[in-house]
Structure 1
Amino acid sequence: LPGPPEVQEVALGPNGLLAGMKDGSAYFDLSTNSPTLVRELNRRFSEKHVYMLDSPVSGGPRGAASGRLALWIGGDEQIFNRHKKVLDAIGDQARYIGPIGAGSVAKLVHNCAGYAIQTCLAEVFTMGVKAGVEPLALWEAVRQGAGGRRRTFDALGDHFLTDSYDPPDFALRLAHKDVTLATELARELKVPMPMANLAHGELTAALNRGWDGRDSRVAMQLQKERAGVTIKVDPAAVKAALERDGK
């Protein structure tokens, strides 16, 4: 379904799902939905002894056609295990994430990150083309760089998730220099790059903390501080997760 209003109507409307479902049955919400609404729906369904799993899918039309869809499941883990075969029939990566609403949170993280990256890519590619590089050649080149050869979310496991920035893979001072050069070129070419300028500001703020010799991703600590969250995952757990995916 397109969004929260449609889900709410289908679930709770006069002729909706809640009105017709039997005790002990289960409802999977496959939409990209509001975690707040998901939790409210779960409360309402629970009152009628109907189980709910928020189960947003990711993979798009191509994934749906090939059966290669990820499903991120929030809810009672026992109910997830009971209906795992049904979920496996929908996609090839049905994973339990956590309590009700957790699947929807994961989907929002995934989609928002993708569109933010898309915006940044538009900035840097227009800069590159305006600087005189042929678009296809530019695309083919950057696909073979450090960022192009690795999936974006996998890189979070190196430093950000484990909260470990020493020794550096690539020092903050070098990253700051690179982004400074890119934003300077953009100004010369009169190419607006608001996302890149935000990144430059973060790197500068991290430098001002005296973190110049630490890994460049230490700048991500600033957002952890602003959000008031602590993220520190056991490196062995990160390694095990990557190995399960054949990385």
Structure 2
Amino acid sequence: MKPEKGKTVVGFAGLGVMGHSMAGHIMRGGYDLLVYNRSKAKALDMLTQGAVWKDDIHSLAEKSDVVITMVGFPADVEEVYLGERGLLAGARPGTVLIDMTTSSPDLAARIAAAGAEKGVPVLDAPVSGGDRGAREGTLSIMVGGDETVFNDMMPLFSLLGKNVVFQGGPGSGQHTKMANQIAIASNMMGVCEALAYSKKAGLDPEKVLSSISGGAAGSWSLSNLAPRILAGDFAPGFFVKHFIKDMKIALDEAERMGMDAAGLKKAFEQYGKVAALGLENEGTQALYKLYGD
């Protein structure tokens, strides 16, 4: 089933920092949009623009041809999909479910298997790019599941991201996101340490950033989060608490595969210290606060 503007009804659950922007792209892309969120207040502006509110996840599934979810933690994903009144309980055969939450690869595979028994295809499609990527529709999207279903859903994915790659069977999208988070984890330590070092050396951190961001040290985090750090902006494009959740999943998977992820272990330890300071609801750039000024 390929989505058609004006005909396909898309349900969206999870209107947080990223989900709100993503759902908006779907609606502005010409699709009828149904929404559900634990807090209805976050949906009010979308309702004034034509989205339709559903009171629970089950009724969202019943009335949708495609459902996209962007929730918080694996436990939330499990409840939303596999709960007694969850998506799989409400979805009609042929409905496509797409989980864009960063979650457990094993859970993604279990949900896909449960969906297959009902004739409901499920894709795991976590994203990278933060709040800015969500706002601008430039997310990187890593997709696992059935490749034919993936190809059918490209009209929707193309509204949300610019780098959309099919990675393999169920759970492959989540495994790819774990690789993404492992790369970011060590990089964020480097970004924060570089800025702290430049200050302690008596340099102008803005000038340092202009020099190193365009060279071999360049990265998305250096270009996008370092300027926020220097501006004292620690608002969440991606929450510390969610990054800790992702790193824990990646550590568990690495251990299961017999891999010693030393950089990831250190970053997990450092972000634990950030959370202990009561900063779990700030952005990942709050790691800089461990170094002080």
Q: What corresponds to 1:32 in structure 2?
A: 102
Q: What corresponds to 2:129 in structure 1?
A: 59
Task: Report the TM-score, using the length of structure 1 for normalisation.
Answer: 0.57
Task: Report the TM-score, using the length of structure 2 for normalisation.
Answer: 0.48
Report the aligned-residue RMSD: 2.2
Structure 1 position 151, deviation (Å): 7.0
* More divergent stretch after superposition (19-28 vs 106-115): 106-115
1:140 is aligned, of 210, 234, 237, to 210
Is the alpha carbon distance of 1:88 and 1:124 closer, same or farther for their aligned partners in structure 2, counting shifts above 3 Å?
A: closer
Structure 1 position 77, deviation (Å): 0.8
| Residue-by-residue CA offset, 1:14-35 (whole Å, 9 max, x unaligned) | 2110111111221100100110
Is the alpha carbon distance of 1:60 and 1:145 closer, same or farther for their aligned partners in structure 2, counting shifts above 3 Å?
A: closer
Q: Superposition pairs for residues 50-89 of structure 1, below 5 Å?
A: 50-89=120-159
Alpha-carbon separation, structure 2, partners of 1:69 and 1:145: 23
Alpha-carbon separation, structure 2, partners of 1:104 and 1:51: 16
Higher strand share: 2
| Residue-by-residue CA offset, 1:115-153 (whole Å, 9 max, x unaligned) | 2211122223323322222222222222243333x779x
Q: What amino acid sits opposite 1:18 in the alignment?
A: L
Alpha-carbon separation, structure 2, partners of 1:80 and 1:99: 11
SS at match of 2:138: coil
Q: 2:199 aligned with 1:129, yes or no?
A: yes
Structure 1 position 90, deviation (Å): 2.8
Q: Superposition pairs for residues 81-120 of structure 1, below 5 Å?
A: 81-120=151-190
Q: Superposition pairs for residues 183-222 of structure 1, below 5 Å?
A: none
Is the alpha carbon distance of 1:140 and 1:88 closer, same or farther for their aligned partners in structure 2, counting shifts above 3 Å?
A: closer
Alpha-carbon separation, structure 2, partners of 1:144 and 1:24: 47
Aligned residues: 154
Question: Any stretches of 5+ residues in structure 2 without a counterpart?
Answer: 1-70, 222-257, 261-293
Alpha-carbon separation, structure 1, partners of 2:154 and 2:214: 38
Q: What corresponds to 2:114 in structure 1?
A: 44
Q: What corresponds to 2:237 in structure 1?
A: none
Alpha-carbon separation, structure 2, partners of 1:142 and 1:45: 47
Q: Over alpha carbons, which structure has the higher Rg?
A: 1
| Residue-by-residue CA offset, 1:142-197 (whole Å, 9 max, x unaligned) | 2243333x779xxxxxxxxxxxxxxxxxxxxxxxxxxxxxxxxxxxxxxxxxxxxx
Alpha-carbon separation, structure 2, partners of 1:227 and 1:13: 33
